[in-house]
Structure 1
Amino acid sequence: MSSEASTASAGTLARGLDILEWVASVERGAMADLCAALGLSRSAAYRIVGQLRERGYLTEAGENHLRLGPRAIRLGLQALEGLDLFKVTPDHLRALVGTTEETAFVAVCEGVEMAYVMQEVGPQVVKVSSKLGSRAPLHASGLGKAYLSALPVPEAEEIVSGLDLVEYTPTTLTTVPRLLAAVREAAERGYAVDDSEREPGVRCLAAPVLDASRRPVAAISVAGPRDRILDAEAAIVEAVLATARTISTQLGCPDPRPRPQE
């Protein structure tokens, strides 16, 4: 293959991956929006999308709309199953729900967002839930602040300084100093709080999950209606912390106890 052909092939591959990532981020996207978001011409977009549809990576979702196809979903599930996190967490997540009677989540960091990868729904009639694969902003979620709290201070500060601190509710943290203060507080006590910062009336308590090098690989949380969480907060915090530490220990973390940021 000539160098020009190789360069063109690499460019097509990159655009195909960009398309898959964009469709995954919006869950169901229109072709016109895809072209605008990625700066692709209609002819290039239709050509690459056509190839991805033929291979099963994309499929139609209504007229002129796309969603991930079965082959992309299958690859994603195989990747998740290969991570130790997904081998040791499910039983502990179910036990956490049994203790708190509220919905529990596990999310991993993807760029400036936390992606929900596991969920165990609580038994309450009124409950909180999120679609697997959906995302929550780092600055406006307990999961995000818990993840940031387990990073070295310079790294957390660099990430926070680059965030778009969108205001979702009146309690959203929209300044760098306020967000960093919340992250430091979470590091000191071992857990983070989302007090209706993205969804009104919802309170979330979250803790980081650490690997053998004490790096955060995920965060785990319990969420529910604000008043109900407040009524049982001490017990829920204890359960969330215990669960996060148990999972971290099974991932090889030598000391999963909270440690102030250094």
Structure 2
Amino acid sequence: MTERSTSAPGTLSRGLAIIEYVAAHGEVSMQQLADGLDLSRSATYRIVGQLREHGFVTERADGTGVRLGVAAVRVGLQALAQTDLFAIAPPQLRRLVHDTAETAFLAVMDNDEMVYVLQEIGTQAVKMSSKLGSRAPIHCTGLGKAYLSALAEPERREIVSRLELIHYTPTTLTTPQALLAEVERSRLRGFAIDDSEREPDVRCLAAPVVGHDRKPVAALSVGGPAARIRAHETSIAGLVRNAARELSRQLGAPDLQEEAR
């Protein structure tokens, strides 16, 4: 972003950019702000001063650091309170169905089980036991493993330690060690796989949806016949990851990809 104008719209744009930069990077110095947003030091000090007057940023007493102020936090929390997962998720599920022709699901965790709360049926849908309102074990579903992958490791291990790892098919993971290893692989690649672990010849790809605190609030998936999903696995996995990332963004989650750059 370049310092193109001293008009009110330009000042507003730069003020919002400063708020977003501080939100993404935490406490930063004036020099970091100026360098990161390609602003002059004088413009940076002037706009930060205006934001400070309105409570959107605050500074250390010695002036060495800028961080978000109470007003920014209050506005953010109010926006999150008005964001309803069940209102924003259906368009993402419909887009997944349009792009894959398979069935898409959204599930939340309840009492160590995944509960299917939203569903969009694809044009190539096949009969699956996963139905709206039904429950499924965490250990043998892509949704469950995706949800676990977004948890901190201690919490992940605690949940896995109390699960009853029932054997459903030859590919079901039935030991804590195997399940934790697969969840970690899911975390690293950005999506989880149900490799016919609950129903023979059904394969699902899933990704976690996280909130502003980076904790999982749900998981979404696309499922269908194993051979058909495998044939398009790379593209479907990308679509699922993108849909989960967009839902997470709308819920106030930081862009973890951007942070990693």
Q: What is the TM-score normalised by the length of structure 1? A: 0.65
SS of alignment partner, residue 139 of structure 1? coil
- Structure 2: stretches of 5+ with no match in the other structure: 1-81
The correspondence of residues 51-62 of structure 1 with structure 2, limited to 5 A, is none
| 2:216 corresponds to 1:211 | no
| 2:178 corresponds to 1:187 | no
- Partner deviation per Cα, 1:198-222 (whole Å, 9 max, x = no partner): 0000000000000000110000000
Aligned partner of 1:141 in structure 2 is: 141
In structure 2, distance between residues paired with 1:259 and 1:223:
30
| 2:106 corresponds to 1:84 | no
Distance 1:177 1:125, change over 3 A: closer
SS of alignment partner, residue 223 of structure 2? strand
In structure 2, distance between residues paired with 1:125 and 1:156:
32
CA contact (8 A) 2:83 2:251 kept: no
Aligned partner of 1:160 in structure 2 is: 160
In structure 1, distance between residues paired with 2:181 and 2:172:
13
User: How big is the shift at 1:243?
Assistant: 0.3
Aligned partner of 2:97 in structure 1 is: 97
Distance 1:195 1:90, change over 3 A: same
SS of alignment partner, residue 179 of structure 1? helix
User: How big is the shift at 1:128?
Assistant: 4.0
Distance 1:104 1:143, change over 3 A: same
In structure 1, distance between residues paired with 2:205 and 2:165:
20
Task: Detail structure 1 runs of 4+ shifted over 3 Å in the superposition.
Answer: 125-129, 256-260
| 2:233 corresponds to 1:233 | yes
- Partner deviation per Cα, 1:94-114 (whole Å, 9 max, x = no partner): 011101110000000001110
- Partner deviation per Cα, 1:159-210 (whole Å, 9 max, x = no partner): 0011000001110000010000001001111100000000000000000000
In structure 2, distance between residues paired with 1:215 and 1:144:
14
- Partner deviation per Cα, 1:93-150 (whole Å, 9 max, x = no partner): 1011101110000000001110000000000163546321101100010000000000
RMSD: 1.9
CA contact (8 A) 1:190 1:259 kept: no
Aligned partner of 1:126 in structure 2 is: 126
What is the aligned length?
A: 179
In structure 2, distance between residues paired with 1:171 and 1:259:
36
Aligned partner of 1:252 in structure 2 is: 252
- Partner deviation per Cα, 1:42-72 (whole Å, 9 max, x = no partner): xxxxxxxxxxxxxxxxxxxxxxxxxxxxxxx
The correspondence of residues 12-51 of structure 1 with structure 2, limited to 5 A, is none
User: How big is the shift at 1:256?
Assistant: 4.5
AA paired with 1:221?
Answer: S
CA contact (8 A) 1:103 1:127 kept: no
Distance 1:113 1:232, change over 3 A: same
SS of alignment partner, residue 186 of structure 1? helix
CA contact (8 A) 1:165 1:175 kept: yes
- Structure 1: stretches of 5+ with no match in the other structure: 1-81
SS of alignment partner, residue 200 of structure 1? coil
SS of alignment partner, residue 139 of structure 2? helix
| 2:182 corresponds to 1:169 | no
Distance 1:123 1:259, change over 3 A: farther
Aligned partner of 2:113 in structure 1 is: 113
Question: Percent same amino acid at aligned positions?
Answer: 59
SS of alignment partner, residue 209 of structure 2? strand
Larger radius of gyration: 2
In structure 1, distance between residues paired with 2:182 and 2:160:
11
In structure 2, distance between residues paired with 1:259 and 1:184:
20
Q: What is the TM-score normalised by the length of structure 2? A: 0.66
